[in-house]
Chain A
Amino acid sequence: MASAAQSNVALPLPTGVSATVRIEPPRSLLELRLAEVWAYRELLYFFVWRDVKIRYKQTAIGVLWVVLQPVLTMLVFTLFFGRLAKLPSQGLPYPVFYFAALVPWTYFSYALQSTTNVVVDNQRLITKVYFPRLILPISTALSGLVDFAIGFVVLAIFTFAYGIRPTLAALWLPVLLLLGVFTALGVGLWMSALNALYRDVRYAVPFAVQFWMFASPVAYPSTLVPERWRWLYGLNPMAGVIDGFRWAITGRGQAPSLLLLASSAMVALVFVGGVFFFNRMESTVADRV
């Protein structure tokens, strides 16, 4: 009878949750508990796992959707921007030109939008159990990577089929991807915290993402932007990511330049600010949502 209760007495503490916790009113703006986020990494894994599972379970054709979305967009772009508008494509076949941009862009757009909604969507959880809230946006930014991986495999096959062979430039891919993840997460942190305060954000972000796409070299090459405005263009981190991606996959087009450094600095700023802003909201979020 009591054996059930006794058998687990010797279980170790879970993943490094500190033994003594002090509970106090929120004090400093700069109070971060990043070590705690690390201690809860197993829960982070479970959140990512949940997101991915549910996404593929609810849809009839599952994984196919992930591929279909960028492929169809690519076809539309190829037809209208390519064949009809005859936009330049840096010497690449239109399908490759568009698809190489759409794979990272689809990830970014999905990650940013789901991160925006993650706090509101999980409000039940937030008001019933404690965990470092920062885990939520991180988990959505990460779970989008599964879709990205599938899209990327298709992209690789596609590029290969067009007779384009990978070059050393491909080594830049992880760096560019990281920059994309941090852009989505950095902006997403601001948006998810704002969304908890004003639900309008939920409706505004999809619009903003659409505009953002046209402010990034997805449908056209960045060389179309006049030289003297390039620096401004470079402040959009996704410009660097998309351009870089195309180049890394095909070995043609715009190689990362100093602009990428500026983009990275910009992302770092937005991300760090986002962490603090989110963290500030975290201490009161359970009272608000």
Chain B
Amino acid sequence: MNNPVIHGEGLGKSYRRGALQQSTLLRDHLSKALKSPLSVFRRAKDETFWALKDVSLEVYEGEVLGLIGRNGAGKTTLLKILSRITRPTTGWAEIHGRVGSLLEVGTGFHPELTGRENTFLSGAILGMSKREIASKFDEIVTFAELEKFIDTPVKHYSSGMFVRLAFAVAAHLEPEILLVDEVLAVGDINFQKKCLGKMGDVARAGRTVVLVSHQLNQIRRLCHRVVWIDGGSIRMSGLTPELVGAYESAMSSAKHTLGRNGGAKPAKARFVSWKVVEPQSSFSHRIESVGPVTISFRLEVQSVIGHGHHGIALYDSDQRLVWAFASDDLSFDPGIYELTYRFPFFPICPRSYNWQLSLWDENGNLDMWEALPELIVAAPNYQHPRDEWNGFLNVPSDFRISSTKG
């Protein structure tokens, strides 16, 4: 587990900005040369643009590493360097083991060929040997649910069928190191889940996976460790729950800083922070057991409130309501308060959630707070080992079989 299978040192990739816009027609070069004969000797303005700069990383054997970051941050460039599609401008990397890369679904598929022929072709292009493909062929076809159509040219497939076959081939690629770019975001939701399950199997079988995804839930489910890339370099790296949390709050604080009542009038009261009191852990916004759990919210009150109403709601990251509660007839004097909730059980599925708190008086809303940072539930999973059989509740259960006579 402790051998780095990927070791990168100071990796950088620069493009000349001019080069990207440079015409590929000789005509344009000629006409330019005719207009200003000296320009041929002048290099196009060397505006260098670093898509990736000084990135060093180590990926260990059997690890599932997630790469996150905004569009254009350099994630795909890094993946392309590691999969040898493009060469770095600076730095070096060493990779130990057989690499498979999956940068798009359906690489090498040809519409005129049948499903069977494409399976072999795409498999070979992705790095499988002919023998390997032949031995997995039935499994691939079953996985894609295309038994009846495997000898039909792919051009007659529906887009769903195409994606299923393409992914089935890719999912059966079993290199020692798998580099995956945002390809799980295709197909219908059930098939996606099936693929995620397959990827999970790959990871559990001890292979190393580097995964680029914008879907933070996928990252949470699959990755042990996450590297956050921003503006071409590594902004942060660490264990998945904290890192994804930090990333999400950075993204949402960029979005929501103006989220509460505009800040125009001096608020009578406002929520300022929250934390997990019980169980104690080194992370104050993370719960690592299914209960008991105590959460407290800090409220700053500026002037007297009578007949107050307070509401709380817990949403999951898809904005589905998980739990809500309300209290009436509250009165506060100016000061700082801790509003504490104790839950004997907190059996919800491990992922990220958001608290929403509100405070009202007779005259209307005083504060409405989308609590930051988000809540991360990282309790042990007591559910089915496969993702598609994981529900909302994470309840420990006791299973027993007893025989009853008669």
Are A and B a genuine interacting pair, yes or no?
yes
The answer to the question of B248 belonging to the interface, with a C-beta cut-off of 8 Å to chain A, is no
The answer to the question of A227 belonging to the interface, with a C-beta cut-off of 8 Å to chain B, is no
Within the complex, which residue of B25, B94, B202 is in contact with A200, where a contact is CB–CB below 8 Å? B25
Within the complex, which residue of B88, B104, B201, B385 is in contact with A4, where a contact is CB–CB below 8 Å? B201
A50 to B117, CA, bound (A): 9
B182 to chain A, nearest CB (A): 12
Within 8 A of A (CB), among B309-362: none
Contact A43 B124 (CB under 8 A): yes
Within 8 A of B (CB), among A129-143: 129-131
A50 to B113, CA, bound (A): 8
A11 to B207, CA, bound (A): 13
Interface range, A side: 35 or more
Please name all residues of chain B whose beta carbon is closer than 8 Å to the beta carbon of A124 when the two chains form the complex. 107
Contact B24 A197 (CB under 8 A): yes
**Candidate in A17, A25, A125, A131 with the most chain B CB atoms within 10 angstroms:** A25
Please name all residues of chain A whose beta carbon is closer than 8 Å to the beta carbon of B90 when the two chains form the complex. 25
Contact B205 A6 (CB under 8 A): yes
Within 8 A of A (CB), among B65-101: 80-99, 101
A22 to B134, CA, bound (A): 31
Beyond A19-B98, A130-B83, A199-B25, whether A287 also contacts B108 by CB under 8 A is no
Contact A24 B129 (CB under 8 A): no
Contact A19 B94 (CB under 8 A): no
A246 to B113, CA, bound (A): 38
Contact A23 B89 (CB under 8 A): no
Within the complex, which residue of A20, A25, A129 is in contact with B85, where a contact is CB–CB below 8 Å? A129
Please name all residues of chain B whose beta carbon is closer than 8 Å to the beta carbon of A167 when the two chains form the complex. none
A23 to B101, CA, bound (A): 15
Instruction: Pick from A53-61, A74-82, A96-104 the stretch touching chain B.
Output: A53-61
Contact A129 B107 (CB under 8 A): yes
Q: Which residue of B lies closest to A196 (CB)?
A: B24
The answer to the question of B126 belonging to the interface, with a C-beta cut-off of 8 Å to chain A, is yes
| A 82-108 to B, binary, CB cutoff 8 A, 1 in contact else 0 | 000000000000000000000000000
The answer to the question of A232 belonging to the interface, with a C-beta cut-off of 8 Å to chain B, is no
Contact A8 B136 (CB under 8 A): yes
Please name all residues of chain A whose beta carbon is closer than 8 Å to the beta carbon of B95 when the two chains form the complex. 20-23
Within the complex, which residue of B82, B132, B202 is in contact with A11, where a contact is CB–CB below 8 Å? B132
A8 to B15, CA, bound (A): 41
| A 1-24 to B, binary, CB cutoff 8 A, 1 in contact else 0 | 110111011010111010111111
**Candidate in A49, A197, A287 with the most chain B CB atoms within 10 angstroms:** A287
The answer to the question of A209 belonging to the interface, with a C-beta cut-off of 8 Å to chain B, is no
The answer to the question of A211 belonging to the interface, with a C-beta cut-off of 8 Å to chain B, is no
B121 to chain A, nearest CB (A): 6
Within 8 A of A (CB), among B100-134: 101, 103-104, 107-108, 110, 112-113, 117, 120-121, 124-130, 132
Q: Which residue of A lies closest to B125 (CB)?
A: A129
Within the complex, which residue of A2, A46, A58, A200 is in contact with B121, where a contact is CB–CB below 8 Å? A46
Contact B113 A14 (CB under 8 A): no
Beyond A9-B205, A199-B25, A200-B27, whether A24 also contacts B120 by CB under 8 A is no
Contact A25 B80 (CB under 8 A): no
Please name all residues of chain A whose beta carbon is closer than 8 Å to the beta carbon of B386 when the two chains form the complex. 1
The answer to the question of B1 belonging to the interface, with a C-beta cut-off of 8 Å to chain A, is no
Contact B107 A128 (CB under 8 A): yes
Within the complex, which residue of B84, B112, B124, B132 is in contact with A58, where a contact is CB–CB below 8 Å? B112
The answer to the question of A169 belonging to the interface, with a C-beta cut-off of 8 Å to chain B, is no
Contact B96 A19 (CB under 8 A): yes
Within the complex, which residue of B26, B101, B135 is in contact with A198, where a contact is CB–CB below 8 Å? B26
The answer to the question of B147 belonging to the interface, with a C-beta cut-off of 8 Å to chain A, is no
Within 8 A of B (CB), among A178-204: 197-201
Please name all residues of chain B whose beta carbon is closer than 8 Å to the beta carbon of A130 when the two chains form the complex. 83-85, 101
The answer to the question of B256 belonging to the interface, with a C-beta cut-off of 8 Å to chain A, is no
Please name all residues of chain B whose beta carbon is closer than 8 Å to the beta carbon of A21 when the two chains form the complex. 84, 94-95, 99
Within the complex, which residue of B86, B93, B135 is in contact with A287, where a contact is CB–CB below 8 Å? B86
Contact A54 B129 (CB under 8 A): no
The answer to the question of B174 belonging to the interface, with a C-beta cut-off of 8 Å to chain A, is yes
Please name all residues of chain A whose beta carbon is closer than 8 Å to the beta carbon of B17 when the two chains form the complex. none
25 A-B residue pairings within 8 Å (CB atoms): A2-B201, A4-B139, A8-B135, A8-B136, A13-B98, A14-B128, A17-B98, A19-B97, A21-B99, A22-B94, A23-B81, A24-B92, A25-B88, A25-B91, A42-B124, A42-B130, A46-B130, A53-B117, A127-B85, A128-B85, A129-B126, A130-B101, A200-B27, A286-B86, A287-B86
Extra contacts, 18 of them, besides A9-B174, A50-B113, A130-B83 (Cβ < 8 A), are A1-B201, A5-B202, A13-B98, A14-B127, A20-B96, A21-B99, A22-B94, A23-B95, A24-B92, A25-B90, A43-B125, A46-B124, A53-B113, A54-B110, A54-B113, A124-B107, A286-B85, A288-B24
- Shortest Cβ-Cβ A-B pairs, 8 listed: A5-B201, A130-B84, A14-B129, A5-B205, A200-B26, A46-B124, A23-B93, A198-B26
